[in-house]
Chains A and B, each alone.
Chain A
Amino acid sequence: MQELVNRAGELLADGSVARVLGWKAGDLSYNPEPAYFENAEALEQFVYNGFCGANLSKYMIEASKLEGKTLVFLKPCDTYSFSQLLKEHRVDRDKAWIIGVGCHGKLDIERIREQGIKGIELVQEEEDSLKIQTLYGEKELPYQSVMLERCYVCKGKEHRIYDELIGESKETDTGERFAGVAEVEAMSPEEKFAFFQRELSKCIRCNACRNVCPACSCRKCVFDSNKFDSAQKVNVDSFEEKMFHIIRAFHVAGRCTDCGECSRVCPQGIPLHLFNRKFIKDINELYGTFQAGEDLETKGPLTNFTFEDAEPGIVAERG
């Protein structure tokens, strides 16, 4: 981490960048926040640890409007989001100084709490394990057991776009990316319906999933505007939960890099990635493997077609 601080300090000092976009130590050991640092003094609060899951690429939309370059620290998966945003002209490459940071997988505080751990005073990251001091005694957990869902199906620790790289990474993808989707696909219509009904009924329409999503970069979301008179502030009816999440998933289909932020931030722990990943799975199966944000050239699957594309009837045929 010190390496990051030093390098940031240099670049600030020699004026290569006007500010640094990184993570600032929180008031609890697990809640660092995305923050700008303008000088060395501020950098003292810089932190990079297992709880720095936040994907900073979306902040670059605003940062692109500021004077001078912004140094941004991006994890491997964050760089997919950045290049997708670049492809959509939402960020300015010339305004960004990208330092790709290593990643050992990021931690999920909710998973830690699910282990029955309460009153967390201090979390210490050790090689492969977490030492957690709580008001109710000390606990130890294997690091690998409490990572964010996305880390178990990591797209790989290779940065897609960067100016320089600092730090080592460790592969964490022990899971099967589409297992969750396949599980639902295997259900009967009734089970599927019940499953999503249960999950979505928790939705409080706080829009955290949308507002954190790098693909949901619309200046004004259709659900906030009257263009479709589709503006909604709340799910009055269970239909509206579906409407919101289906359309959101559809709007980011072919653009979603599967960064997993939506699931990370949902206060009700709804597995929102199951929507986006369903589209990704279908796209891969029907139109050939596609990974948004992998490069800047490839045409998105929904702004593209082939003469031989499957007919919509295939949905029924697949059963």
Chain B
Amino acid sequence: MYKIEKEKLTALFQMIAADQELFLPIRNGGQVNFGPWSEAVEVDLETLNSVKSPKDVFFPQSENLYTVKQNDGHMCIEPEELKNQDFVVFGIRPCDVKGVEVLDKVFLVDPLDSYYAARREHATLVSMACNEPEETCFCKAFGIDCVEPGGDVAVWRVGEELYWKPLNEKGEALTDKVKSLLVEAEESCVAEQQAAVRKIVEKLPYADLSLDGWNGEALDAKFNSDIWEKLYTPCLACGTCTFVCPTCQCYDIKDYDTGSSGVQRYRCWDSCMYSDFTMMAHGNNRTNQMQRFRQRFMHKLVYFPANNGGMYSCVGCGRCVAKCPASLNIVKVIKAFQEKGGEL
């Protein structure tokens, strides 16, 4: 365990960014999102959740896959270059680290997503413990301890210090890079704060949220429940929940004709809330919003765990709770089934 004074953070960032990209929470136009560091940007480590989760560091909202060009009548394909430079993501929250693990389950299994894999391979995650959990947080329900960060390096902000603990080789490597700024410190230095924060977590409104009954076996009962009909009605069919979500991984593939410089085939985030999601030649297999709405939560709480050894594709970051224009969210869904015992 090491530590560094908060005033030295800029120096730290400069040092990291000297020979590689550094992504971290940046305040721009009143909102905090992850972005590349530069002297010009305003770093914000206080805000609990970035609006967009950091997932788009690995799985960008849009990325070009390859470009098709035409030279006097002949087609030729230019694949997009894969990420081949190391980079660092600083300040990613424990829940979002878990979110990345969820994405790994999707993109790092066969067939491997080379674009995603390349980014993961070159990334070093510096994960930051939470100091002030908010009422929207329910990471505990997914077994996440918001004061025990994962990733490659774990950091805590305590008083005027930032405590730094490498968790693996990647972490060690980064630590060596910035050693000159770090000083040795005791593990115990963070224990007190950890305890305090854990107390707060116990008091959160969603502290006792239970996921009982949400698993692969529950498929039919949940799918056929008519609670959905009641739940979905306020849904505006926008993509806010999916686009701020750290685990939503659906994407669409589209072509863009740039004219002179060829046709770009790119992929971009898609939302199961959209009416043309998985649209096929014959039309759409989900014809109404109830079905789309149900799909999202069934996927996160039933289908995904069924296929991934019980791992949910929700990490309780609370972004959807905070951002849904119609005040819907996954918690309301989970509770609704609890209260009604899944029946009705």
Please judge, given known A-B contacts A33-B234, A201-B28, A267-B240, whether A224 and B274 are in contact too, CB under 8 Å: yes
Q: Which of B185-209 contact A (CB under 8 A)?
A: 200, 203-205
Query: B33, B135, B326, B327: which contacts A202 (Cβ < 8 A)?
Result: B33
The stretch from A24-32, A160-168, A185-193 touching chain B is A24-32
Kindly state the separation between the CA atoms of A33 and B242 in the bound complex, as whole angstroms: 19
Of the listed residues A27, A121, A199, the one surrounded by the most CB atoms of chain B closer than 10 A to its CB is: A27
Once the chains bind, are B51 and A121 in contact (CB under 8 Å)? no
When C-beta atoms are compared, the residue in chain A nearest to B199 turns out to be: A135
Once the chains bind, are A267 and B135 in contact (CB under 8 Å)? no
Once the chains bind, are B29 and A204 in contact (CB under 8 Å)? no
- Kindly provide the distance from the CB of B289 to the nearest chain A CB, expressed in whole angstroms: 10
Kindly state the separation between the CA atoms of A136 and B256 in the bound complex, as whole angstroms: 50
Of the listed residues B33, B269, B327, B335, the one surrounded by the most CB atoms of chain A closer than 10 A to its CB is: B327
Once the chains bind, are A269 and B132 in contact (CB under 8 Å)? no
- Kindly provide the distance from the CB of B343 to the nearest chain A CB, expressed in whole angstroms: 17
Kindly state the separation between the CA atoms of A84 and B339 in the bound complex, as whole angstroms: 40
Once the chains bind, are A206 and B239 in contact (CB under 8 Å)? yes
A198 partner residues in chain B, CB cutoff 8 A: 28-29
Q: Could you tell me how many residues of chain B have their Cβ less than 8 Å away from some Cβ of chain A?
A: 50
B133 partner residues in chain A, CB cutoff 8 A: 119, 135
B203 partner residues in chain A, CB cutoff 8 A: 135
A32 partner residues in chain B, CB cutoff 8 A: 327
Task: Report A120-142 CB contacts with B as 1/0, cut-off 8 Å.
Answer: 11000000000000111000000
Please judge, given known A-B contacts A121-B135, A236-B256, whether A211 and B269 are in contact too, CB under 8 Å: no
Q: Which of A99-131 contact B (CB under 8 A)?
A: 114, 118-121
Kindly state the separation between the CA atoms of A135 and B323 in the bound complex, as whole angstroms: 20
Please judge, given known A-B contacts A118-B132, A269-B29, whether A233 and B254 are in contact too, CB under 8 Å: yes
Interface residues on A, range: 35 or more
Kindly state the separation between the CA atoms of A220 and B237 in the bound complex, as whole angstroms: 12
Is the CB of A6 closer than 8 A to any CB of chain B? no
B329 partner residues in chain A, CB cutoff 8 A: 31
Task: Report A209-230 CB contacts with B as 1/0, cut-off 8 Å.
Answer: 0111000000010001000000
Kindly state the separation between the CA atoms of A2 and B135 in the bound complex, as whole angstroms: 28
- Kindly provide the distance from the CB of A74 to the nearest chain B CB, expressed in whole angstroms: 16
A114 partner residues in chain B, CB cutoff 8 A: 30
Is the CB of A16 closer than 8 A to any CB of chain B? no
Q: Which of A228-276 contact B (CB under 8 A)?
A: 233-236, 264-265, 267-270
- Kindly provide the distance from the CB of B74 to the nearest chain A CB, expressed in whole angstroms: 25
- Kindly provide the distance from the CB of A205 to the nearest chain B CB, expressed in whole angstroms: 7
Once the chains bind, are A212 and B238 in contact (CB under 8 Å)? yes
Query: A27, A33, A118: which contacts B326 (Cβ < 8 A)?
Result: A33
Query: B233, B270, B323: which contacts A233 (Cβ < 8 A)?
Result: B270
- Kindly provide the distance from the CB of A193 to the nearest chain B CB, expressed in whole angstroms: 14
Kindly state the separation between the CA atoms of A290 and B300 in the bound complex, as whole angstroms: 47
Of the listed residues B236, B266, B274, B275, the one surrounded by the most CB atoms of chain A closer than 10 A to its CB is: B236
- Kindly provide the distance from the CB of A130 to the nearest chain B CB, expressed in whole angstroms: 15
When C-beta atoms are compared, the residue in chain A nearest to B244 turns out to be: A267
Once the chains bind, are B269 and A27 in contact (CB under 8 Å)? no
A268 partner residues in chain B, CB cutoff 8 A: 29, 31, 33, 51
Q: Which of A59-78 contact B (CB under 8 A)?
A: 59
Kindly state the separation between the CA atoms of A270 and B203 in the bound complex, as whole angstroms: 33
Task: Report B255-280 CB contacts with A as 1/0, cut-off 8 Å.
Answer: 01000000000101111001110000
Once the chains bind, are A267 and B252 in contact (CB under 8 Å)? no
- Kindly provide the distance from the CB of A200 to the nearest chain B CB, expressed in whole angstroms: 9
Once the chains bind, are A33 and B28 in contact (CB under 8 Å)? no
Is the CB of B105 closer than 8 A to any CB of chain A? no
Once the chains bind, are B323 and A199 in contact (CB under 8 Å)? no
Is the CB of B172 closer than 8 A to any CB of chain A? no
- Kindly provide the distance from the CB of A146 to the nearest chain B CB, expressed in whole angstroms: 15
B291 partner residues in chain A, CB cutoff 8 A: none
A270 partner residues in chain B, CB cutoff 8 A: 29
Once the chains bind, are B268 and A236 in contact (CB under 8 Å)? yes
When C-beta atoms are compared, the residue in chain A nearest to B56 turns out to be: A204
Is the CB of B148 closer than 8 A to any CB of chain A? no
Once the chains bind, are A204 and B52 in contact (CB under 8 Å)? yes
Once the chains bind, are B200 and A119 in contact (CB under 8 Å)? yes
- Kindly provide the distance from the CB of B204 to the nearest chain A CB, expressed in whole angstroms: 7
Is the CB of B117 closer than 8 A to any CB of chain A? no
Kindly state the separation between the CA atoms of A264 and B240 in the bound complex, as whole angstroms: 13
Kindly state the separation between the CA atoms of A208 and B236 in the bound complex, as whole angstroms: 8
Please judge, given known A-B contacts A33-B234, A267-B323, whether A119 and B135 are in contact too, CB under 8 Å: yes
Is the CB of A287 closer than 8 A to any CB of chain B? no
Kindly state the separation between the CA atoms of A121 and B329 in the bound complex, as whole angstroms: 17
Is the CB of B249 closer than 8 A to any CB of chain A? no
B233 partner residues in chain A, CB cutoff 8 A: 34-36
Is the CB of B134 closer than 8 A to any CB of chain A? yes
Is the CB of B23 closer than 8 A to any CB of chain A? no
Once the chains bind, are A233 and B31 in contact (CB under 8 Å)? no
Kindly state the separation between the CA atoms of A120 and B274 in the bound complex, as whole angstroms: 32
Kindly state the separation between the CA atoms of A32 and B324 in the bound complex, as whole angstroms: 11
Once the chains bind, are B51 and A267 in contact (CB under 8 Å)? yes
Residues in chain A within 8 A of chain B (CB atoms): 26-28, 31-36, 54, 59, 114, 118-121, 134-136, 198-199, 201-202, 204-208, 210-212, 220, 224, 233-236, 264-265, 267-270
Sampled A-B contacts (29; CB under 8 Å): A27-B331, A27-B335, A28-B136, A28-B205, A35-B233, A118-B134, A119-B133, A119-B204, A135-B203, A199-B29, A202-B33, A204-B243, A205-B239, A206-B239, A206-B240, A208-B240, A211-B236, A211-B238, A233-B269, A233-B274, A235-B62, A236-B62, A236-B266, A236-B268, A265-B238, A265-B325, A268-B33, A268-B51, A269-B29
In the complex, the 3 A-B pairs of residues with the closest C-beta atoms, listed nearest first: A265-B325, A31-B327, A234-B268
Q: Give 11 A-B pairs besides A136-B132, A202-B29 with Cβ atoms closer than 8 angstroms.
A: A31-B321, A33-B327, A34-B234, A35-B233, A54-B234, A118-B48, A120-B135, A208-B325, A224-B274, A233-B268, A236-B256
